[in-house]
Amino acid sequence: MCGIVGYWGRRNAGSILLQAIRNLEYRGYDSVGICTSNGEILAIRKDKGKVEEVNGRHSLHEMTGNIGIAHTRWATTGKVTKKNAHPHTDCTKSIAVVHNGIIENYERIRERLRAKGHAFQSETDTETIAHLLEENIHLGIGQAMISVAKELEGRNAFVALFGNEGVIAGVRKGSPLIVGVGGEEYFVASDIPAFLEHTKKVMYIDDGQMVVINNGIHFFDIDSQKSVEKRIVEIVLDMKQAEKGDYEHFLIKEIMEQKETLFRAINQDEDEIRKFAEEINQAFGVFFIGAGTAGRVGLMGEYIFSKIAKKHVNFVLASEFPSYEHFLTSKTLLIPISQSGETADVMKAVEVAKKKGVKVVSIINVKGSTLDRISDHSFLVNSGIEKSVASTKATTGQLAIVFLLAYACAGRLEEGKRLLIDTASEVNDMLNPRYEAHIKRLAKKIGRRDHIYIIGRGLNYPVALEAAIKITEVSCIHAEGFAGGELKHYSIALISDGVPCIAFVANDETMADMLNNAAEVKARGGYIIGVSPEKHEIFDYWLKVPDVGNTSPIVNIIPGQMLAYHLGLERGMDIDYCRNLAKSVTVL
């Protein structure tokens, strides 16, 4: 979940690394640090806080040297303090390390190294890497890196700077690491936006591999210790997608971009969609998996396939999927859904599936991500770079592809595509200043409430769960989604005078029951916010959405996203950098 980056070249590393970690701040914003070297001594500046705060105190942009490493942290092991900020060094202060992931056996390693006289300066698992490298450096840099990588347990990636030799080296073991190739310079980072403004040429490091950069670039397999050949891939990404432009926050920019991104998601290769639909129809057991928001899309998939394709598919949270391994076979089909393509829970689930011979076809937003490369096939959402921690445009794109697949399984792909195009046009009309102002007024009414409850039925029950995620992430209000039919069984006990309750009321077979549920809440003092094509008497506040039939989840998600944004503003939250969260969850 942390952002790591290394630079080797001819230019001033300090300013380049500073901009790189600005571009990676969505991966972690607890603390920041940079280490640079002139080929001899190491210079380190680090502190807790966000990138601009730390730069303001320590002038990171003024750091000299032509090589360096940098880090923006999402804390796992060790509190958020200056001493726990990366980079970390060995006892000689000649080796510095930045790291993403978890070292499961770090306590045992640290005890052994302390017995040998190593003095630790932090509480982190990361610092053990620097001291292990010091113990093994007599073997040479390459062998030292391999030896350390083999000893570390858990999913992680790290980049080390060897100041005396002017060398940068990186290892990937379950967490992402990518190389960028410039003219006479190289980058190694956890994500492409770190170096996108400098080069669009990348080389992918696979799991169990390492890279060594010193007047050239060399890749090695950790187990065999043999050299590995890599090809340069030209990526198609626009750096402007990672800039806010005229918007105050990335979140509202990305919400508004759904005017275009939905059309891009719908524009899939129809032959590929039909081919995969046939595989779904023939599979013995189909599973959607995902985590967080992508998990709610997977749950919607269960309902969508039931209603449209008259077909049973399963949804399992990615973190729980390994418990299902006992009845997976080579006839099973796994459909992971992920924005980043690097989510640790998803990757672990795919590993379990692959061992049983399961075919994996993914729905992802990042081409070239780990999930993309290990899948048998991928459908790209094509939403572009998403910088806000709270996912929006990738979510509706993922939903669009799930709908396409369901309609294709029913032999009605053209009908489904027309409906989705009409739905995207309706979303385009929804995203206007008047609609946003109407939602902003609602946010002012309910923004100081401690609890918000959200109900839905059928296709819109998972939408209620997703709206709760958005409101929780962005505003830090306790928001909880329920199936409307569950109210009488337990959750109506939470309703008291004035408590906001959002009701998703679609013009479908669930409408009458949903209105009854809303009435039950209102009878107990609840404040009913209706999300519906029609205004019903029971509503205290109405958020109109277009009547699009089966694709109502797509249009209903939009007001949930926008309300979360304005609730966050009303409460003075850090909109793009949700408290305690990071964009890409690469640790288990």
User: Region 467-481: what's the mean pLDDT?
Assistant: 97
Q: Residue 492: count other Cβ atoms within 10 Å of its Cβ.
A: 18
* CATH 3.40.50.10490 segments of the chain: 247-430, 432-574
Inform me whether the pLDDT recorded for 240 exceeds 90: no
Q: Which residue has the higher pLDDT, 515 or 174?
A: 515
User: Going by CATH, does the domain composed of 432-574 fall within 3.40.50.10490?
Assistant: yes
Mean pLDDT of the chain: 93
Local confidence band at 215 (pLDDT 50, 70, 90 cut-offs): confident
Question: What one-letter code names the amino acid at 541?
Answer: Y
Inform me whether the pLDDT recorded for 586 exceeds 70: no
Predicted local distance difference test score (pLDDT) of residue 239: 65
18 touches 55 (CB < 8 A): yes
DSSP string for 102-157: --TTHHHHHHHHHHTT----SS-STHHHHHHHHHHGGG-HHHHHHHHHHH--SSEE
- CA dist 22 and 175 (Å) reads 20
8 touches 67 (CB < 8 A): yes
Domain 3-235: give its CATH architecture: 4-Layer Sandwich (3.60)
Predicted local distance difference test score (pLDDT) of residue 27: 83
Inform me whether the pLDDT recorded for 432 exceeds 80: yes
Q: Which two tokens stand for residue 189?
A: 């980072």
Inform me whether the pLDDT recorded for 409 exceeds 80: yes
Local confidence band at 410 (pLDDT 50, 70, 90 cut-offs): very high
Q: Which two tokens stand for residue 366?
A: 């990042």
User: Region 48-64: what's the mean pLDDT?
Assistant: 93
- Lowest mean pLDDT, pick from 274-278, 385-389, 539-543: 385-389
- Tell me the pLDDT tens digit for each residue of 324-339: 999 899 999 999 999 9
Predicted local distance difference test score (pLDDT) of residue 132: 97
Counting residues of the chain whose pLDDT is more than 70, the rounded percentage is 98
125 touches 2 (CB < 8 A): no
User: Region 450-458: what's the mean pLDDT?
Assistant: 96
Inform me whether the pLDDT recorded for 40 exceeds 80: no
Predicted local distance difference test score (pLDDT) of residue 1: 67
Q: Which two tokens stand for residue 277?
A: 């639909």
Closest alpha carbon to 337 in 287, 284, 271, 374: 287
Q: Which residues does the annotation mark as catalytic?
A: 2, 583
- CA dist 90 and 129 (Å) reads 8
Inform me whether the pLDDT recorded for 51 exceeds 80: yes
Local confidence band at 241 (pLDDT 50, 70, 90 cut-offs): low
Instruction: Tell which CATH classification among 3.50.50.60, 3.30.429.10, 3.30.70.360, 3.40.50.10490 matches the domain 247-430.
Output: 3.40.50.10490
Inform me whether the pLDDT recorded for 536 exceeds 90: yes
Sign of the dihedral defined by the CA atoms of residues 483, 488, 494, 497, in that order: positive
Q: Which two tokens stand for residue 235?
A: 């990526």
- Tell me the pLDDT tens digit for each residue of 286-302: 999 999 999 999 999 99
- CA dist 176 and 318 (Å) reads 18
Closest alpha carbon to 427 in 446, 387, 400: 400
